[in-house]
């Protein structure tokens, strides 16, 4: 029967190799556990649902440089012309685009009196008309959309009604129904906004903000010489609409610049590019560290085979079976991995605390060090078993001739 104490004594006779390998495993566990946790967090961030029909909705910029253009009437004609194009589902002007990296945001005031008034969390602000909900492709789960007669044109200060995201409603009123609630765009009583609808999910423009899921749509059609337009169209029609939209708009009024046709899915790729790069680099580092650690263990086993050929042959002569020799090296590997894994797990937790303090990362979950140790043991088992099988095939005669 294989005894642990003799194996430990054997390891301690030549301390330098096992100690160096132990240090390598400790560092690998600490780094791989935290890197894997960060990778998981980044992937979770990139997988967040924006709530919009990302493959159908695109935006473009419209700039009118002719001072004689009646912007308000021109804008209404433009929207009608775009909506009539083949493949277009709906269109509207907008103050911002989801996941675009730029736009409007603000907090609000709620309460029944100045004494009970309190500020809400910040939220992305979409100024739009009764076509906004359908154009974005968001799911209206409570209340209703704006009526056409409720849409006002001009200043944001004219807003009277709001459609909010479920996340904002939850953060603001908790479990109370949001429909019918009043909030103020400023101090208490300054500009009352009545909530008439709630959408399931609508993200803002800034993917790194803590209030990404907080959004508010207000019943204001902004009119100026520089306009952002949102268009929802059938999948695959963007290429032809890039030609058709400028043609139909320039036909009505040529003194304009139309540019920047971009799907929301393309905005997503751009704003999450740094997250994707970090996940990729960390994944490569994890693979490299695990590979180096496995090769280190395999190298130590191969060195021990050459150094302990006589001992292995003697064990075989005394009746040790091939599987006993194989078990010997595997147990040596497990002892080093378990000791290094325990110490490395503690180091990983401490490293996670530092990352949490200095980089505002979430707390490291213990499952990551545990799974790292388990994965390392499986990987090193594969790395050790091939040279260990070579050791198990050494015969007593071979060992005698090698002395």
Per-residue pLDDT of the chain (403 residues; tens, 9 = 90+): 456 766 666 666 666 667 888 888 898 899 999 999 999 999 999 999 999 999 999 999 999 877 777 888 888 999 999 999 999 999 999 999 999 998 999 999 998 888 889 999 999 999 999 999 999 999 999 999 999 999 999 888 899 999 999 999 999 999 999 999 999 998 888 889 999 999 999 999 999 998 999 999 999 998 887 889 999 999 999 999 999 999 999 998 888 899 999 999 999 999 999 999 999 999 999 999 888 888 877 777 777 666 666 666 666 666 667 677 677 777 877 888 888 889 988 998 888 888 877 777 788 888 999 998 888 888 888 877 777 776 667 666 655 554 4
The pLDDT value given to residue 115:
83
The region that residue 194 occupies, defined by phi over 0 for left and psi between -120 and 50 for alpha, beta otherwise, is beta
Asked whether 117 and 188 are in contact (CB, 8 A), the reply is yes
Q: Is residue 57 part of a domain?
A: no
Phi and psi torsions of 62, nearest 5°: -125, 120
Asked whether 80 and 148 are in contact (CB, 8 A), the reply is no
What is d(CA 195, CA 199) in angstroms, rounded to the nearest whole number?
A: 11
Helix (H) or strand (E) holding 82: helix 71-83
Q: Is the dihedral of CA 145, 91, 191, 213 positive or negative?
A: positive
Tell whether 210 and 345 lie within a shared domain: no
Q: Is residue 230 part of a domain?
A: yes
Tell whether 245 and 98 lie within a shared domain: yes
Give me the half-sphere count of Cα atoms (radius 13 Å) on the Cβ side of residue 349: 9
What is d(CA 108, CA 172) in angstroms, rounded to the nearest whole number?
A: 10
- What is the layout of strands, in order, in the sheet containing 57-64? 88-94, 226-233, 57-64, 256-263
Count the Cβ atoms, other than its own, within 10 Å of residue 197. Answer: 19
Q: Is residue 58 part of a domain?
A: no
Angle in degrees, 0-180, between the axes of helices 273-307 and 309-317, rounded to the nearest 10: 60
Secondary structure class of 307 (helix, strand, coil):
helix
What is d(CA 19, CA 338) in angstroms, rounded to the nearest whole number?
A: 13
Contact partners, residue 30, CB within 8 Å, separation at least 6: 344, 345, 347, 348, 351
Contact partners, residue 257, CB within 8 Å, separation at least 6: 61, 62, 63, 65
- In angstroms, what CA-CA distances link 80 with 55, 75, 160, 230, 231? 22, 9, 25, 13, 12
Tell whether 312 and 209 lie within a shared domain: no
Tell whether 92 and 182 lie within a shared domain: yes
Tell whether 26 and 147 lie within a shared domain: no
Tell whether 88 and 234 lie within a shared domain: yes
Domain range for residue 250? Answer: 66-254
Q: Is residue 216 part of a domain?
A: yes
Dihedral over alpha carbons 231, 276, 49, 119 (to 10 degrees): -100
Tell whether 182 and 277 lie within a shared domain: no
Helix (H) or strand (E) holding 262: strand 256-263
Q: Which residues pair with 61 in a beta bridge?
A: 228, 259
Tell whether 211 and 338 lie within a shared domain: no
The domain boundary, picked from 224, 254, 284, lies at: 254
Tell whether 324 and 177 lie within a shared domain: no
Which stretches of 57-203 are assigned E, i.e. beta strand?
57-64, 88-94, 105-106, 109-110, 118-119, 123-127, 140-143, 152-153, 161-165, 182-184, 192-199
What is d(CA 247, CA 145) in angstroms, rounded to the nearest whole number?
A: 31
Tens-place pLDDT, residues 346-393: 998 888 888 877 777 788 888 999 998 888 888 888 877 777 776 667
The domain boundary, picked from 254, 288, 318, lies at: 254
- Domain count of the fold of the chain: 2
Tell whether 176 and 216 lie within a shared domain: yes
Tell whether 200 and 279 lie within a shared domain: no
Tens-place pLDDT, residues 31-68: 999 999 999 999 999 999 999 999 999 999 999 877 77
What is d(CA 286, CA 41) in angstroms, rounded to the nearest whole number?
A: 15
Tell whether 237 and 89 lie within a shared domain: yes
Q: Is residue 267 part of a domain?
A: no
pTM over 0.85, yes/no: no
The domain boundary, picked from 203, 226, 254, lies at: 254
What is d(CA 251, CA 245) in angstroms, rounded to the nearest whole number?
A: 10
What is d(CA 127, CA 149) in angstroms, rounded to the nearest whole number?
A: 16
Asked whether 161 and 194 are in contact (CB, 8 A), the reply is yes
Tokens of 376: 């390392």
Q: Is residue 201 part of a domain?
A: yes
Q: Is residue 197 part of a domain?
A: yes
Q: Is residue 110 part of a domain?
A: yes
Asked whether 400 and 313 are in contact (CB, 8 A), the reply is yes
């Amino acid at each position: 029967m294989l005894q642990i104490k003799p194996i430990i004594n054997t390891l301690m006779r030549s301390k330098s190799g096992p100690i160096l390998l132990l240090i390598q495993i400790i560092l690998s566990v600490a780094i791989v556990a935290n890197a894997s946790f960060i990778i998981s967090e980044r992937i979770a961030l990139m997988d967040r649902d924006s709530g919009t029909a990302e493959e159908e909705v695109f935006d473009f910029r419209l700039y009118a440089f002719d001072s004689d253009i009646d912007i308000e009437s021109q804008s209404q004609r433009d929207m009608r012309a775009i909506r009539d194009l083949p493949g277009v589902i709906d269109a509207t002007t907008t103050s911002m685009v989801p996941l675009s990296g730029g736009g409007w945001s603000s907090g609000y005031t709620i309460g029944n009196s100045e004494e009970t008034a309190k500020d809400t969390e910040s939220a992305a602000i979409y100024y739009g008309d009764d076509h906004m909900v359908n154009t974005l492709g968001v799911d209206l789960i409570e209340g209703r959309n704006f009526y056409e007669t409720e849409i006002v044109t001009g200043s944001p200060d004219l807003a009277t009604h709001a459609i909010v995201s479920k996340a904002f409603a939850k953060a603001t009123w908790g479990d109370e129904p949001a429909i019918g609630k009043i909030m103020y765009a400023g101090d208490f009583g300054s500009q009352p906004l009545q909530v008439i609808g709630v959408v399931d999910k609508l993200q803002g423009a800034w993917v790194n903000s803590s209030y990404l899921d907080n959004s508010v749509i207000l019943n204001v059609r902004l009119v100026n010489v520089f306009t952002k337009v949102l268009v929802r169209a059938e999948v695959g029609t963007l290429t032809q609409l890039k030609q058709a939209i400028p043609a139909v708009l320039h036909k009505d009024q040529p003194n304009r610049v139309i540019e920047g046709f971009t799907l929301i899915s393309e905005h997503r790729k751009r704003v999450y590019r740094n997250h994707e790069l970090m996940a990729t680099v960390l994944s490569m580092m994890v693979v490299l560290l695990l590979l180096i650690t496995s090769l280190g263990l395999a190298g130590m086993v191969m060195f021990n085979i050459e150094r302990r050929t006589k001992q292995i042959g003697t064990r075989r002569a005394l009746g040790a079976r091939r599987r006993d020799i194989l078990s010997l090296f595997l147990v040596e590997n497990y002892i080093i991995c378990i000791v290094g894994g325990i110490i490395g797990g503690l180091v990983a937790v401490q490293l996670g605390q530092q990352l949490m303090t200095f980089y505002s990362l979430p707390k490291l979950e213990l499952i990551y060090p545990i799974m790292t140790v388990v994965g390392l043991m499986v990987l090193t088992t594969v790395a050790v078993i091939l040279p260990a099988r070579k050791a198990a095939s050494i015969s007593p005669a071979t060992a005698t001739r090698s002395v």
